[in-house]
Amino acid sequence: MLRRHIKLISITFMIAIGFCCCLTASSDTRPKSYGYYRLPTSLKPELYTLKIMTKLEDPSNLMFAGEVDLLFKVLSDTDNITLHVQNLTIDEKRTELKKYNDNSTLYCIKDSTVLEEHDYYIISLCQPLQKDEMYTLTLAFKAPLNQRLHGYYRSSYIDKSTNRTKWLSITQFEPAYARSAFPCFDEPNYKAKFKIWLGHHNALTALSNMPLDRQELIAELPGYVWSVFEESVPMSTYLVAYSVNDFAYKSSGDNRVMFRTWSRPEAMNQCDYAAEIGPQLLMFYENRFGIKFPLKKLDQIAIPDFEAGAMENWGLITYRETTLLFAPNISSESNRERIATVIAHELAHQWFGNLVTMKWWSDLWLNEGFATYMSNLGVDFLNPDWELLNEDAMDNILGVFKYDAHINSHPISQPIEATQQINERFDTISYKKGSAVLRMLHMILGEEAFFEGIRHYLMINMFNNAEQDDLWNAFTDRAHLYKRIEPRYDMKTIMDSWTLQVGYPLVKVIRNYDTATMEISQQRFLLNNSQSVDDNEKCWWTPLSFTTATKKDFATNNTLHWLECKEGKKNIKISLENLANKEEWILFNVQISGLYRVIYDENNWILLNRTLNSNKYNDIHVLNRAQLIEDVLSLAWGGYMDYNTPLDMLQYLKQENKYLPWYTALQGLANVDRLLKNFPTPYGFFSKFLVDIILPVYNSLDGLNNTVKATEISQVKLKHKMLMAKWACYLKINDCVQTAVKYFQEWKQSSVNRIPVDSRVIVYCTAIKHGDRSDWEFLWQRLQESNVATERRTLIQALSCSRNATLLKTYIDLIFDENKYIRKQDSAAAFGAVVRNEVSFSTARDYLIEHIDQLHEFYGPTSQDLTSLLSSVAGQIINIEDLNVIQSLLTRKRDFFKEYQKSVSNALETIQLNIGWISRNADILQMYLVKRKSSD
């Protein structure tokens, strides 16, 4: 007891005197012989007793001081202790090493050094530590509360009642930032228990992963207390979380798990929805996975400054305000849907990532792919009438099809050989391709085998770490038990072909109509069919399902045949007989159960088109209607076919009354629009084509008018209505533009916003696009006054819609202004919106080039936001001159992007794809559209 109190006094003393007696850990940077990117395996942490004192009273000196007692076991004899430290000042005079349960003997420390490349802090010892013994290492440290939005950092908000800035502290440790908050073994496989003490002013609240055990007064620091939390379950360092704040919370009632939703006090009325659905989702997952949530409490908290969408810290989930807070009559139904999806994602992580954690970041998809897929099932449980299962499946597949068709994509599971490479893996591949592959696996195995495999995987690995082979073993057992695959197959062979190699297959179906046979083969799909790459030998174990015009069996999507792979990844073509007669179409990949595109011979496309452009288009399942649209648009984009087939097919959309095919079509057509709008003549014909197919459906849904309340129509019908209105206004259809401007001017004149909530994003953008400076300034003022994060996001996007180049130039300056009119977390999205406006593209491009040093400083060296700005600009570049400018920038500032080479390569590839598409298609597409117009 005495030793503990002495330590607590020393931390408060460090705070009081400003840490003047400390030495910095970076004072000795002599290189060590050990330079491997992973920690040595000689030590295993068992328990961290972590004490952090945080003072938030002086905004000019927001600091924290801490001390950690690290109990560890020696797995093999070693003469050093190597752990992670980043940007911490270590008081080396207070470092102590003792054998566990022997406080009388201090072990001799020879010296300590830093290996900056890997953030190693290496303590050299006078004598080796003995295998199987337990030791306690004590380290004292300090650092500023940083402004980088990771590690242990500061956030703030303005108290509207007093107009004063209120400060809070919060953590964001994923993937490797715990080391910047306390010395630790900062790798996911080093799970340990944590006892956390937070020192803070007694007027504030402290939160951490576990429930509060007690508070103790600090005699040496009047007005301060220690909040002491219960010992945690074993967890990885990236899941540790704590905060000091003045927030309020809404309780979700009396449950087995204490569930609370926290926000700044002025936003408490926006917590109801999250507080309602959180416990429902938690219970759904408990039942689905057969394992109870292992903690006694779960807090979810909305942070004003937060870079990620949310973070799944065990027991203390952190969110952006936009992904947790819902304001009735201000937030839209799409906001509600987004919030439900993010909460479902983070709660799924409590099992996939927290309970069972990947051994190393190479298998990040075991966390993110699972959480993405399970969140789809969770939201469908909450609101089956939203029809989100199909939409989410299609959205994931669209994302994968676009990203993974780049040469510079990467496998789902890929070696990571430096901490700096980890951040780039939080991308479409880990999230969406991981989810899409799991959906495919679900379809292959069926409901029972799939979930029994998951339960088995979780049970045998709980509170531990796993890799993807552990998952395949669990699924193979169940697949054989339920006879879902033949005994000669195993899930590792099948699934490794999807997770260990880049890309996805294009399945080619060529029919011989005279012999009633067809040949089926596969190759990798690329966004440019003429690209020369060594990918011809790639092969995927591809599950084939199909139906015909006669059978129309879309209810069953069982795998009927496999495209198999020989050893050495050689493709095996297959021939099938008598599947369809010559007058009927055949369609593969029922309900898009597999992650592949399909290309048919010309006659089969004609047969499919004939059905779609008839009153029998509903004979084809809605998911497969969307699939056909996506396939033909992408096949034409990549040069696998000409544009005749997609233009013929898309005519049927005039009668399509379902949201999903329209959503898919407009996603694909937006890519054409993005590039073609720079060429007035072909774009004129293209925009007329769009108006021709959109206008009938826009009118049938009553345009932008609010004659039907959102609560009186289904969620999916509302989204369809808003999608068509968005494009109608974009294409300057008079009814839409006039309605939007009228709504906006009524608001501006009365200061009472009666614009229907779900159409506000469309109305604001259209009114600003067709308005003047006073309209823009009116909306800018509303942004500064708004207390609702979801509304602020809508306003930020709308302000980029102006056609006034001077205003847009000013807006870019305001985005990055140090006065933080727009929070750092929203700046990249705001800049991206300005880039996509052709009026301001060149201004935004030049801003990136001319202010690259300031932007690098603004975001910090480890932020991905700088590459987000680059990607936004790259997406709009269509000529060699601009490509050369970007390449010159990247050459001059290679150090700024060295940790994000994959993102840089993708940006450059996007530009080359844009240029290639223009040269191949601009003139030809104009010719097709002119010919089609003259024949109408």
Q: What is the pLDDT of residue 33?
A: 63
Non-local (6+) Cβ contacts of 18 within 8 A are: none
Burial of 519 (0-12, 13-18, 19+ CB in 10 A): middle
Convert the pLDDT of each residue in 427-436 to its tens digit: 999 999 999 9
Q: What residues are labeled active site?
A: 346
Stated pTM of the model: 0.95
Neighbours of 353 (CB within 10 A): 24
Asked whether the predicted pLDDT for residue 15 surpasses 70, the reply is: no
Q: Is 118 annotated as a binding residue?
A: no
Euclidean distance between CA atoms 428 and 434, whole angstroms: 8
Give me the amino acid identity at 493. Answer: T
Convert the pLDDT of each residue in 182-197 to its tens digit: 999 999 999 999 999 9
| Phi, psi dihedral angles at 581 (to 5 degrees) | -80, 165
Cα 674 from chain centre: 24
Sign of CA dihedral 697, 700, 706, 712: negative
Q: What is the pLDDT of residue 536?
A: 60
Three-state DSSP class for 693? helix
Asked whether the predicted pLDDT for residue 23 surpasses 50, the reply is: no
| 862: nearest Cα among 818, 825, 896, 828 | 896
Q: Average pLDDT, whole number, for the chain? A: 93
Q: Please report the domains of the chain, with CATH numbers, ordered by start residue.
A: 52-246 (2.60.40.1730), 247-355 (1.10.390.10), 357-500 (1.10.390.10), 504-540+558-624 (2.60.40.1910)
At 3, the pLDDT band (50, 70, 90 cuts) reads very low
Is residue 629 within 8 Å of residue 578, measured between CB atoms? Answer: no
Non-local (6+) Cβ contacts of 14 within 8 A are: 21, 22, 53, 65, 91, 140, 142
Convert the pLDDT of each residue in 109-155 to its tens digit: 999 999 999 999 999 999 999 999 999 999 999 999 999 999 999 99
Asked whether the predicted pLDDT for residue 557 surpasses 80, the reply is: no
Convert the pLDDT of each residue in 270-300 to its tens digit: 999 999 999 999 999 999 999 999 999 999 9
Find the range with the poorest average confidence among 356-360, 745-749, 901-905. 901-905
Euclidean distance between CA atoms 239 and 354, whole angstroms: 7
Asked whether the predicted pLDDT for residue 348 surpasses 80, the reply is: yes
Euclidean distance between CA atoms 412 and 428, whole angstroms: 10
Euclidean distance between CA atoms 675 and 604, whole angstroms: 30
| 353: nearest Cα among 465, 429, 468 | 465
Q: Is 349 annotated as a binding residue?
A: yes
- Number of residues assigned to the chain: 936
Euclidean distance between CA atoms 658 and 539, whole angstroms: 35
Q: Are strands 505-512 and 597-600 parallel, antiparallel or unpaired?
A: parallel
| 781: nearest Cα among 821, 819, 746 | 821
At 568, the pLDDT band (50, 70, 90 cuts) reads low
The strand pairing partners of 63, in sequence order, are 55, 144
Euclidean distance between CA atoms 379 and 374, whole angstroms: 9
The strand pairing partners of 142, in sequence order, are 65, 89
